[in-house]
Amino acid sequence: MLKFEPRGAESPFWRYAAPVLALLLTGVTAGLIFAVMGRPPGRTVYTLLVAPLLQQDGLEALVVKAAPLILMGVGLSLAYRANVWNIGTDGQFTLGAICGGGVGLAFPDAPAWALYPLMLLAGAAGGMASGGVVAWLRVRFNANEILTSLMFAYITQYLLVWLVTGPWRDPMGFGFPQTALFSDAAQAPRLIAETNVHLGIALAPLAALALWVMLEKTLLGFQFRVLGQAARAARFAGFRETRLIWVAMLISGGLAGLAGLLEVTGTLGQLTTTLSPGYGFTAIIVAFLGRLSPLGVVPAGLLLALTYLGGDAAQINLGLPNAITGIFQGILLFYLLGCDILLNNRLRWRRRGPVPT
């Protein structure tokens, strides 16, 4: 009989091996699903995970997709370590895009040196406002942040739809639900000319590094970790839970808002009714795949970005439905959480039946 036995202490090996195992199991399971659908599993997985990288602009597309995932995943890894379950980063992303993008649309003639920093600030502030409301509801009314943050994500989405189909709709846009294009000054600065590699691609790893230092090396980060692992011990130490909840929601919300602003000014160039293909939810998987470590989030973000590219490729080349990306991500999260049991337990064969005498 297979049995789990407690190890007594967390295994350092499985800390890193568990995500790899989860990834392998995801590949096998996805392959089985493809086989059942009558597709060659090997070629399909190849199209999903390898082929996108071999294309001409493969790497560029990858980092552009990964940047918002990493920015949001980094903030989430901090919040989740403190047991603050912000599920609504998608809404914070959107509100950041609305606020920052709104500033850009309001001043089409402003010079870039003044306008873009202001847009960045407005984007971060929008995300922080969205996260702050959630924090306030939790602290003031003890409202569960999982529910409130998720509900705000829907509210924000409808706000966006209303804006781009109503007051902010481009009068010259032939009635399409979208705003005017941002002025050149309101575009994210490019790190490499003539490409989509924008400012966000540099900010994402910097944010990861900064939050890693904060979480692992500072007293503030220690407070988050204690709160997440033993809330009573945090009270005993005198760490103020309400303050930590505020900080966690403001940072994760602010980074999501920044990601939203960078996404609309870096790749889309205008506001439309669909800004995020579920980035906020994918970022949850990114945070867990990265073991809730801000540094681990970087490779995790790249991998999940690849599933988006692979999903597109599979749709175009193999005629698979676009839902394949969501399925793949869902299976991955399932195995990730499942494989974590190996951290504190080992698998043992045990004989059933009477105890030997």
Binding footprint of other proteins, residue count (CB under 8 A): 28
Query: Binding segment for other proteins among 50-58, 130-138, 214-222, 247-255 (CB under 8 A)?
Result: 214-222
Q: Provide, rounded to whole angstroms, the least separation between the CB of residue 9 and other proteins.
A: 6
CB 264 within 8 A of CB 275: yes
Distance CA 211, CA 297 (A): 11
8 binds other proteins (CB under 8 A): yes
The residue type found at 351 is R
* Complex with other proteins: residue 136 or 222, whichever CB lies closer: 222
**Does residue 2 touch other proteins according to CB under 8 A?**
no
Residue nearer to other proteins on the CB measure, 35 or 210? 210
CA neighbor of 87 nearest in space, from 144, 157, 22: 144
Q: Which is nearer to other proteins, 83 or 92 (CB)?
A: 83
- Which tokens hold the place of 221? 């980060």
- If one asks whether residue 341 binds other proteins (CB under 8 A), the answer comes out as no
* Length of the chain, in residues: 357
Which residue, 193 or 355, has its beta carbon nearer to other proteins?
355
Cα 121 from Cα 211, distance rounded (Å): 19
Which amino acid, one-letter code, is at 296?
A: G
- Rounded CA gap, 72 and 135, in Å? 17
Does 222 participate in binding other proteins (rule CB under 8 A)? yes
Q: How far is the CB of 239 from other proteins (least distance, A)?
A: 8
Binder to other proteins among 43, 235, 338, 347 (CB under 8 A)? 235
Q: Could you say which of 87, 163, 226, 255 contacts other proteins (CB under 8 A)?
A: 226
56 binds other proteins (CB under 8 A): no
- Give yes or no for residue 55 binding other proteins (CB under 8 A): no
Select 163 or 215, whichever has its Cβ closest to other proteins: 215
Of 3 and 43, CB closest to other proteins: 3
Nearer to other proteins, 43 or 243 (CB): 243
Pairwise CA distance, residues 41 & 28, whole Å: 9
Q: Is 9 in the site for other proteins (CB under 8 A)?
A: yes
Non-local (6+) Cβ contacts of 52 within 8 A are 58, 61, 62, 306, 309, 310, 312, 313
User: Which of 237, 316, 341, 347: binder of other proteins (CB under 8 A)?
Assistant: 237
Whether the Cβ atoms of residue 233 and residue 83 lie closer than 8 Å to each other = no
Segment (H or E) for 347: strand 345-349
- CA of 96: how far to CAs of 124, 252, 261, in Å? 6, 12, 6
Instruction: Kindly list the residues in this chain that would bind other proteins in the complex (CB under 8 A).
Output: 5-10, 217-220, 222, 225-226, 229-230, 232-233, 235-240, 346, 354-357
